[in-house]
Structure 1
Amino acid sequence: MSERDFSDHVVVVTGASGGVGAAAAEELARRGASVVLAARRAGPLGEVAKRCGDQAHAVVADVTKRNDVQRIFDEAVAKFGRVDIWINNVGRGIGRPLLEITDDDVDEMIRDNMKSVLYGMQVVTPHFQARGTGAIVNVSSLLGRTPLPPRAAYSAAKAAMMSLSEAFRIELSGSHPNIRVVVVYPGRIATEFGQNALGQRMFDSGKLPAEVLAVLGGATQTAEEVAHVLCDAALSGRGDVYTQPNAFARVREYMEKQPG
């Protein structure tokens, strides 16, 4: 099946210096988009921008800071005249049992996984409202749907981000039905994400409930595989998008088995 073209689309991608963000930026550029890439690491970000070609603009920024997010938007408009799609891809994990979670852990999870997304939505939406169209794509995780020890704080932050996104989708549907709010749910991805998580304790899959293992049972995907689904969702998706086949069915089955 042929890929849909992104020509005449200006797309902002945060967390674009590696992993899924870098893979998405490169696919978007290959499919004709003008891309604005944002991340904290100037060196890796510049390398990704080079691979994306002449229609790429890199912005070194920390999206956990509202002023930096505003600067990303301002530079995108100055460079390309508008923004059509904004992809919130920044996040951070944690591996810590619930009884060991600290106040700082919670603050960092909310800052990195929820507030970074909130800032992106708040900065770009007035622009979309003025134009009457646009798409916000927030990258979540299956763990936002199915909490997993010892990832409880990460799961909670992703669930909070999911709730923000769903509430905003409803809020916009009446007044601005052509502004899409999409949430993408990857499962396990072969990237360095886990190496950058707070704490180093990995879960013992042999001790997890069978229903949790069933939800996570999809094959580990590459960053490129996830990015392909993400790009398609950015162009035309609505609502929730799962990157693994049958993931939604697994999540629904998990929820149906919960007590209460």
Structure 2
Amino acid sequence: MARQPRSLAGKVVVITGGGRGIGAATASALTRLGARVAIGDLDLDVAKRTADGLGDDAIALPLDVTDRPGFTAFLDEVEKQLGPIDVLINNAGIMPIGLLEEESDRTTRHQLEINLHAVVHGTREAVRRMKPRGAGHIVNIASAAGKAGFPGVATYCATKHAVVGLSEAVRMELRGTGVEVSVVLPAIVRTELTAGVEEARFVKSLVPEDVAEAIVAALRRPRFEVFVPRSLGPINRFTRLLPRRAGEWVAHLLKGDQVLINAAHSAARKDYEARAAASAPAADKEAGG
């Protein structure tokens, strides 16, 4: 007999970068199911507007995920206001587009700090809080770029591959503890992060609600790899069976190797690229930038 899906009513959920996009859609989906959600975001005004639209079950707090002591203090404040954290969703991330040879060291550092180091820190903090209680769920948002390389986002791909590896290792470390780990691997999601990116031939673009639905499903019936859409899973497994040159030929035939790099100089990305460049104030301060 199949196990009943877990109830999320009353669960305390933290979402980093939750003010907009996937994070905001996930917060909305969770509050509809009775969860109490803490939205952490660098842009507190945006986070407050999102939380205000969700009613009494959502709060907004300032969060720069590159400020690790501040990240820890943010989690402490969530627990002070809402109680022990049941779910942490490491969602904050940036995706500047451009050739690696043209990428500044500052842009590289921002991606490593936000997309990877913050996920390591958030995961570690969640384990320390959840493991003694024998329950909890850590959800790390990676990407289809965590399973393959795409021209134009080399460093982004590196960070997302690392998030997948981190999640795999921590999942094994936590076996038998009652703490679950999921890694979410979406295709192109129509948010500000993908502004200027054209439709891919091989996989239809998603909206944030598609990813939110998949995250909720993984929380109710835990599983490790969460491909969005689900068809990405079989596609990934099939392409991994091919010799490298054949797999690259298929990607080129489907223009999968062009979909991101073609957006590098799109005027539609101007606002997003500027916001991404200002998204790690603590990391810049530490580096003296």
How far off is 1:42 after superposition?
1.3
1:170 aligns with: 172
Change (3 A) 1:20 1:98: same
Look up the SS of the partner of 2:187 in the other structure: coil
* Aligned positions, number: 242
1:141 aligns with: 143
Deviations 1:120-141 (A, max 9, x none): 1111211111101100000010
Find the aligned partners of 2:123 and 2:50 in 1 and give their Cα distance. Answer: 24
How far off is 1:151 after superposition?
1.2
How far off is 1:5 after superposition?
4.1
Find the aligned partners of 1:156 and 1:47 in 2 and give their Cα distance. Answer: 33
Find the aligned partners of 1:99 and 1:256 in 2 and give their Cα distance. Answer: 31
Find the aligned partners of 2:190 and 2:40 in 1 and give their Cα distance. Answer: 21
1:186 aligns with: 186
| 8 Å Cα contact 2:98-2:152 kept in structure 1 | yes
Alignment of 1:87-166 (within 5 A): 87-166=89-168
Name the amino acid aligned to 2:73.
R
| 8 Å Cα contact 1:61-1:69 kept in structure 2 | yes
Deviations 1:55-95 (A, max 9, x none): 21211111121112112211111112211110000111021
Q: CA RMSD in A?
A: 2.1
1:38 aligns with: 40
2:211 aligns with: 226
Alignment of 1:1-20 (within 5 A): 5-20=7-22
**Structure 1, unaligned stretches of length 5 or more?**
206-212
Task: With the length of structure 2 as denominator, give the TM-score of the two structures.
Answer: 0.78
Look up the SS of the partner of 1:173 in the other structure: coil
Find the aligned partners of 1:233 and 1:106 in 2 and give their Cα distance. Answer: 31
| 8 Å Cα contact 1:14-1:87 kept in structure 2 | yes
Given the alignment of the two structures, is residue 236 of structure 1 paired with residue 238 of structure 2, yes or no? no
Name the amino acid aligned to 1:194.
T
How far off is 1:167 after superposition?
0.9
Task: With the length of structure 1 as denominator, give the TM-score of the two structures.
Answer: 0.87
| 8 Å Cα contact 1:233-1:241 kept in structure 2 | yes
1:75 aligns with: 77
Deviations 1:17-63 (A, max 9, x none): 10000000011111100111100111111111111111212111111
| 8 Å Cα contact 1:147-1:155 kept in structure 2 | yes
Find the aligned partners of 1:159 and 1:11 in 2 and give their Cα distance. Answer: 25
| 8 Å Cα contact 1:101-1:153 kept in structure 2 | no
Deviations 1:115-162 (A, max 9, x none): 111111111211111101100000010011111001111101111111
Look up the SS of the partner of 1:71 in the other structure: helix
How far off is 1:4 after superposition?
6.5
Stretch deviating more after TM superposition (247-256 or 93-102): 93-102
2:238 aligns with: 253
Name the amino acid aligned to 1:257.
L
Name the amino acid aligned to 2:193.
F
Find the aligned partners of 1:4 and 1:51 in 2 and give their Cα distance. Answer: 25
Alignment of 1:205-216 (within 5 A): none
How far off is 1:249 after superposition?
0.9
| 8 Å Cα contact 1:186-1:243 kept in structure 2 | yes
How far off is 1:103 after superposition?
2.6
% identical aligned pairs: 31
Q: Which runs of 4+ in 1 moved over 6 A?
A: none
How far off is 1:8 after superposition?
2.2
